[in-house]
Amino acid sequence: MALNLYNSLSRSNEIFKPIEENQVTLYTCGPTVYNYPHIGNYRAYIFGDMLKRTLSYLGYKVKHIMNITDIDDKTIRDSIAQEKTLAEFTEFYTEEFYKDVDSLNIIRAEKYTKATDYIDEMVTMIEALIEKGFAYKSEDGSVYFDIAKDAEYGKLSHFTLSDLKENAKGRMANDEYDKENAQDFALWKSWDENDGEVFWETPLGKGRPGWHIECSAMSTAELGDTIDIHTGGVDNMFPHHENEIAQSECATGHPFVKYWMHNEHLMVDGKKMSKSLGNFYTLRDIDKLGITPQAFRYWLYTGNYDTKVNFTIEAVSGAQTALERLYSAYREVLDTDNGIINTEYKDRFTEVLSDNLNTPKAVAILWELVKDTDISSSDKKATMLDFDRVFGFGLDKVSAEKPIEIPVEVSALADARTAARNEKNWAKSDELRDQIKELGYEIKDVEGGYKITKT
Ligand SMILES: [Zn+2]
C-alpha cells in the first residue's frame, strides 16, 4: 500500500518515495534550550515521533536527527541574565528536555545534535555561500545571506521576492522575524558586547552563528545534502525553514529536502498560547492538572496533525479518561498468551495511516478492535500491541495491577507535603503525612517524587 504524505513544498499529497529504498532520512527542528518547551512545541515533537513510528511500522529503516539549539539570541540573553556560562545554562534545559521526551514515550532520535558542536561545519557552509556569491560581509563583520540572489527564495512559504515590501532590501540581524520583515538574514553575527563571553574565533572573524544556519549545517553533516523528510511546526515555515532551504541549496547545489511536513498550531482555549494571556502550559503544568503525558499524546491523535487543535482542560481530561479505559481494556487481555495479529484490522489500520497519517481514524479502529467480541483475547492482545508500535501509548508497560485511584483531597495533601519538604518544614511535612494516613493512605518518598498506597 502506497504511503501518501502531504508535502508543504508542493502543497499536495504525494506518494512517498525515499531516496534510498526502504530507508528514510528524517530531520526535526528541536528545542531552543533556554526554557521548558511548551505543549505546542511538544505537538511538533510528538508528530515527528508518530511519523517515525509509522515509517518503521511500514518497514522503513529511519535515521532521525534532531537538533538542540544551544546557541541563539535567547540562550545568550538568558544565560547572561542568570550569570551562568552558556554551557551551564543550556545543559540544564537540555536534560529537562530529555526527561520530557522519555515521559512522553517519544523514541529517541538517532542523535541529538548540539549546535555548538557544529561551528566548523557552519563556518564551512557560510564560506561556500560567500564564495558562490550568495552571502556578503557587512561593515561590522557579520555575514548576511543575500535573498535577492536566490531566485527560488520563498518557494516553501509560497511568495515571490517581488511580493515583499520595500524593507526587503534591508538586513535582519535577529533570529526571529515575520514575513513582513523578510530581509537579508544573518548567517554569522560578529561579536558585540551583548554576546558577553559567547564567541568563537573563526576564519569569518570573532562571532557566533545565526540560528538558521545551524539546522542546515547539522542536517547536511549528519544526513547528507538531500534528505527525505524534514518536519517541524508550521510556525517555523517562515523564516526558519525557508532560510534553511536557501542556505543549503545555494551552498551544496542540491535539493535540500524531498518532503516538508508541518504540523499545525496548538491553540489553548481558542487563542494562541502566550505567557501574557495566562494560557501557557508546559508538560509540568498539565501534569499538575492530572493530565499524563500519554493522555496529551492520545488527545493530539484525536485531531489530524495538519489541522489546528484547541487545548481545553475538558477536552484533554476526556482523553485522560479514554486512555485509562484503554489501559483497562488491555489489562483484561494482559494475562493471555500473545496470539496472532488480526490481518483484517491491521490492513485497515495501515490504510488510514497511509492516508497522510489519519490518526483520528486509527484511534477509532483501535476502539473497534477493543470492542470486537469475535476476536480472541490473545489475538486482541497481539493486535493492540502491534498498533501501539505506532501510537506509543506504552501498552507494553501496563501492569496487571490496577492503579489505585487517589482521591483529590489526598493528592492535595501530598502536594502540600512536597511544598513543606521543599521548604524544609519537617514538622508540617509529618503533620500532613498523618492527615493522609487518617484518610487511609500511606505516602512514601521515592526518587523524583512520592508514592501513595492504600493502607
Ligand atoms: Zn531548524
Residues 411-443 have pLDDT tens digits of 889 888 988 988 899 999 999 999 999 988 888
Number of neighbouring beta carbons within 10 Å of residue 6: 18
pLDDT above 80 for 333: yes
pLDDT-based confidence at residue 196 (cuts at 50, 70, 90):
very high
pLDDT, tens digit, for every residue of 21-32?
999 999 999 999
List, in sequence order, every residue forming a beta bridge with 112; answer none if it has no partner.
66
| Nearest of 41, 7, 72 to residue 260 by alpha carbon | 7
pLDDT-based confidence at residue 354 (cuts at 50, 70, 90):
very high
Average pLDDT estimate for 68-90: 95
Q: What's the gap in Å between 42 CA and the centre of ligand 1?
A: 15
Cell of 408: 483529590
Q: What's the gap in Å between 259 CA and the centre of ligand 1?
A: 15
Q: What is the distance between the alpha carbons of residues 306 and 443, in angstroms, rounded to a whole number?
A: 43
Q: What is the distance between the alpha carbons of residues 310 and 242, in angstroms, rounded to a whole number?
A: 27
| Nearest of 266, 294, 263, 298 to residue 281 by alpha carbon | 266
Cell of 7: 508535502
Percentages helix, strand, coil for the chain (3-state, rounded to 5) are 50, 20, 30
- List the domain boundaries for the chain: 23-263, 267-397, 408-454
| Residue-level length of the chain | 455
Q: What's the gap in Å between 66 CA and the centre of ligand 1?
A: 9
| Nearest of 228, 289, 283 to residue 261 by alpha carbon | 228
Q: What's the gap in Å between 212 CA and the centre of ligand 1?
A: 7
Domain 23-263 CATH class label: alpha beta
- 224-253 burial, b at 16+ Cβ within 10 Å, e below that, comes to eebbbbbbbbebbbbbbbbbbbbbbbbbbe
Q: What's the gap in Å between 194 CA and the centre of ligand 1?
A: 24
CATH topology of domain 267-397: Isoleucyl-tRNA Synthetase; Domain 1 (1.10.730)
Run of H or E including 86: helix 86-103
Q: pTM to 2 decimals?
A: 0.88
- Residue 422, φ and ψ in degrees, nearest 5: -60, -30
Average pLDDT estimate for 195-223: 97
Residue holding cell 541549496? 249
Q: What's the gap in Å between 211 CA and the centre of ligand 1?
A: 8
Q: What's the gap in Å between 69 CA and the centre of ligand 1?
A: 9
- Residue 231, φ and ψ in degrees, nearest 5: -115, 165
Q: What is the distance between the alpha carbons of residues 87 and 223, in angstroms, rounded to a whole number?
A: 26
Mean pLDDT of the chain: 93
Q: What's the gap in Å between 214 CA and the centre of ligand 1?
A: 7
Q: What's the gap in Å between 29 CA and the centre of ligand 1?
A: 4
Whether 101 and 108 have beta carbons less than 8 Å apart is answered as yes
DSSP state, 375? S
**Close Cβ partners of 293 (under 8 Å, ≥ 6 residues apart):** 100, 103, 104, 105, 283, 287
